[in-house]
Amino acid sequence: MKIELLFKKLFYSIFRLLFRNENIEIPISYNNIKNILILRYDAIGDMIVTLPVIKLINELIPNSNIDVIASSRNISIIENESRIRDKILQPKGFFKSLFQAKKLKRNNYDLVLSLVLNDTTKAGLISNLASSKSAYKCVIAHDTRKDIYSALFNIQVELQEYRNRITMLELQCKFVSRIFGIVNYEDMIVNRMTISDDDEKFIESITSDLKPFIVFNISSGNDYRTFTTKKNIEILNDILDNISEYNFIIISAPNENSKAVEIKESLNSERVYVIGTMNLNQVSALINQSTLVFTPDTSIVHIASATNTPVFLIYSLLSSHVTEWLPYKSKYSYVRTNSKEPIQNIETKEVVSGFLNFAKEVI
């Protein structure tokens, strides 16, 4: 561990000499900021909760050009966002991403916002390679590594007191407000994603005879946040017995479509449907047209929140910073594990009871 720390300090000493970043006091003026780069090359939910940040910046600096580096997983989320000038797909591979950043330097970025919190070194290198020495390179300050990260960022915003107390959406908007010294910005936060007319019409053509319907998602990015097929059948069967006036549409990740079909066939109900493979924007349109969503996955939670659709979520205490990934200003309820364990350990009756109680409030 001491050797690792020694190497890390050595590398950061090199970065310090190479990039020569000097700490800049905030707030800064946005009057001279024209070109902005946002780093968000991670998960689906991460991009969804960044949309309000983009809208906030556009409100503050309406004539600015906003570019976003996205991942293959989340770039489709910004496909219909007209506020973004350039949607940049990050290539796979560490050095390829650095080479891409170097080519982006021609865009003359005045401000780089790193919203990727799980690989700060890579984000810092991209921030410096994509911009000039005089550009503002900003990140949310790490609680213990502020000193070494000062080699890569000239603005580190202290927000530790808010971690796991407010949602990630709010945390990121607070990040931007602190940079520019904006005190009253809450009314400027708009949590809505843009869904194309084509996607809305496509879903309407499939579901027009199924309304009203509830979306039942069975997939998640982690095994510990996924129910077995048997348990999903038990849960949905009990819900069907108690809610008779709604249809249910089961959705899943493309590689789990067979599980969705198995659940439907096991239930043998005329009110349960499985739609074929949909892209992410079509899933968003489906959720937008639904009455209520059931999900163990946070990306679906954020789509529901960004379409103002009530959502019932299941989460495990194995997840970190749970509060940060809750919906923002939309109706929701949840059940959770009692300890750091998979959601499979939650009793079926507890899940069903929680869902039915919430359904009574919103449908």
Residues 144-198 have pLDDT tens digits of 889 999 999 999 999 999 999 999 999 999 999 999 999 999 999 999 999 999 9
Phi–psi pair at 210, nearest 5 degrees: -105, -10
CATH code of residue 206: 3.40.50.2000
Residue 129: pLDDT over 90: yes
Q: For residue 143, what are the CA distances in angstroms to 165, 168, 334?
A: 15, 17, 30
Q: How confident is the model at residue 5 (pLDDT cuts 50, 70, 90)?
A: low
Predicted local confidence at residue 322, as pLDDT = 87
**pLDDT by residue (tens digit) across 195-224?**
999 999 999 999 999 999 999 999 998 999
pLDDT reading at 230 higher than 60: yes
For residues 153 and 300, membership in a common domain is answered with no
CB 215 within 8 A of CB 287: yes
Flag whether pLDDT at 2 surpasses 70: no
Q: What distance in Å separates the CA atoms of residue 212 and residue 243, rounded to the nearest whole number?
A: 12
Q: Are residues 152 and 117 in the same domain?
A: yes
Q: What is the mean pLDDT of residues 125-139?
A: 98
Give the mean model confidence (pLDDT) for residues 275-286: 95
Statement to judge: residues 182 and 37 lie in one domain: yes
Q: Residue 118's pLDDT band (boundaries 50, 70, 90)?
A: confident
Mean pLDDT of 239-246: 97
Q: Helix (H, G, I), strand (E, B), or coil: what is residue 144? A: coil
Instruction: Answer yes or no: is pLDDT of 268 > 90.
Output: no
pLDDT recorded at residue 3: 62
pLDDT-based confidence at residue 9 (cuts at 50, 70, 90)? confident
- % the chain with pLDDT above 90: 90
303 in a domain, yes or no? yes
Q: Average pLDDT, whole number, for the chain?
A: 96
Q: Is the pLDDT of residue 4 over 70?
A: no
- Bond from prior residue into 62 cis (ω within 30 degrees of 0): no
Number of domains in the chain: 2
Q: Cβ distance 161 to 178 under 8 Å?
A: no
DSSP-assigned letters across all residues of 285-346: HHHHH-SEEEES-HHHHHHHHHTT--EEEEE-TTSSSGGGGS-SSS-EEEEE-SSSS-GGGS
| 66-86 tens-digit pLDDT | 999 999 999 999 999 999 999
Give the other-Cβ count within 10 Å of 98's Cβ.
Answer: 15
Decide if 18 is inside a domain.
yes
Could you tell me the two tokens for 27? 């707030």
Does residue 340 form part of some domain? yes
**Are residues 254 and 152 located together in one domain of the fold?**
no
Please give the biggest Cα pair distance in the chain.
68
Distance of alpha carbon 132 from alpha carbon 110, whole angstroms? 8
For 45, the domain range is 9-188
> So what's the pLDDT on residue 12?
87
Check whether residue 138 and residue 257 sit in a common domain.
no
d(CA 82, CA 100): 23
Q: Are residues 267 and 172 in the same domain?
A: no
Q: Which of 188, 207, 232 is the last residue of a domain?
A: 188
Query: Does 164 lie in the same domain as 225?
Result: no
Q: Is the pLDDT of residue 1 over 70?
A: no
Check if the beta carbon of residue 260 is closer than 8 Å to that of residue 218: yes
- The Cα–Cα gap between 76 and 28 comes to 32
DSSP H/E element including 175: helix 168-180
The tally of CA atoms less than 13 A away on the side-chain side of residue 166 is 15
Pick 320 or 64 by higher pLDDT. 64
Predicted local distance difference test score (pLDDT) of residue 10:
80
